[in-house]
Homo-oligomer: A and B are copies of this chain.
């Protein structure tokens, strides 16, 4: 095989895999947003068949030959192709180690488990979900060995979502966060409480939908390339850089819930929409890692979306859409309400300060599940104990406890820590952004979010998967230092609560 033949086969293979990814992605989106509840069996059959086909396509020995030819001739490849080869090699080696029947069985299991989890959550019935979670944990433990037998199993899983991340780093990172967050939370307990009852007035779904449209407009999300739908759990999915979808979930008694999920998912969507065209239909398309992705979503959700400047900008629209619900409420009161720091039950609705504590609970449980020191049946009790210990709250049921997130049902173990990491990247990015743009909050106040997104696009978005996540971050922001984050939290909450 000549290098040119290998190159053609390699590019063609990526296009084919991208086409399959597109199809499967749309089916998953449909399953979460529009499909009738009883449709999962037929979808399971289809997904099972496709998993086998995808497995065969990826594990095809011909790919190995192609890769070997390309790896033997690095100087004949342009830099993008070299990186594509590197990424392809990683996937190929990993998949090679997973027996086809396990891969297919796991895909079928996940399709079913997501439906079972949703029902279990709605009915507060952990027992019905437990057998699925047991199998998922078992598969993940096994897969960890396939991914990297040298690493501790949980490290191997972490490394899947964020290359280079491990328990050593995370233990230190979380300890540092705890040392700042816990004392702040204690001081806030003594401070004057923030009034936020108006956020749980009645906010009709129809009006909230209009508000979502407005938020997407303010964020500069081009509706020609970005859709919004409704699902149990908000998420973002992308098929290429001109077809991105976000979802939200409306609660009529909680305005901030959908509001901040739209801004959060909108941050993910801006990342996907901002990737350069040259990466479409290659294995470098889309955001590079979960941590970097979360840095973008949480930058928008918290640093922008929960700023005084942003609330000031959007407050007239809020008053227009919800005149009765917000009668007598000022922009400053609204700002304080959406920043109320209070240990609570639900991660996705928690405040910016206590959020990382929610992540730490999941991190501790995942570590123990994977190393075998925690049995699945004991998850609810362990969950409730850690919520008491880290957040000081009593968990009343599993619906608001260990069944609240879809991640485990979807097979994602080792994913949660990237949420905390993503949050922590933000203030460091802001610091370097301000070196270029000056006072960012001044831009936000004027509605000039295009400049903020432009900076993120230039330094992060456009590169898609071309650089490794740590390299991408360091190119612009230097070595990661959690102190930017802890300083940011300390400043923000000291001022807000007058501590």
Contact = CB atoms under 8 A, between A and B. Distances in A.
Interface residues of A, number: 42
Given A16-B53, A30-B30, A206-B206, A23 B46 contact: yes
Nearest to A41: B242
A98 interface: no
A29 B30 CA distance: 9
Interface stretch (A160-168, A225-233, A364-372, A487-495): A225-233
Given A242-B41, A243-B36, A50 B225 contact: no
A35 interface: yes
Contacts of A30: 26, 29-30
A27 interface: yes
A83 interface: no
A24 interface: yes
Contacts of A26: 23, 26-27, 30
A223 interface: yes
A34 B245 CA distance: 9
A369 to B, nearest CB: 33
Interface string A9-43: 00000011011001110110110011111110111
Contacts of A223: 36
A242 B37 CA distance: 10
A46 B34 contact: no
A49 interface: yes
Contact of A23 (B24, B41, B243): B24
A280 interface: yes
A36 B281 contact: no
Contacts of A226: 36
Contacts of A43: 22, 239, 243
A75 interface: no
A15 B242 contact: no
A22 B38 CA distance: 15
B280 A42 contact: yes
Contacts of A49: 15-16, 19
B42 A23 contact: no
A224 interface: yes
23 contacts: A15-B49, A18-B46, A19-B49, A22-B42, A23-B23, A23-B50, A26-B26, A26-B27, A34-B227, A35-B227, A36-B224, A36-B225, A36-B243, A36-B245, A37-B224, A38-B222, A38-B225, A39-B239, A42-B243, A42-B280, A43-B239, A45-B281, A46-B239
Given A33-B34, A41-B242, A45-B281, 15 more contacts: A16-B53, A19-B45, A22-B43, A23-B26, A23-B50, A30-B30, A34-B229, A35-B227, A36-B225, A36-B227, A39-B225, A39-B242, A42-B243, A43-B239, A46-B239
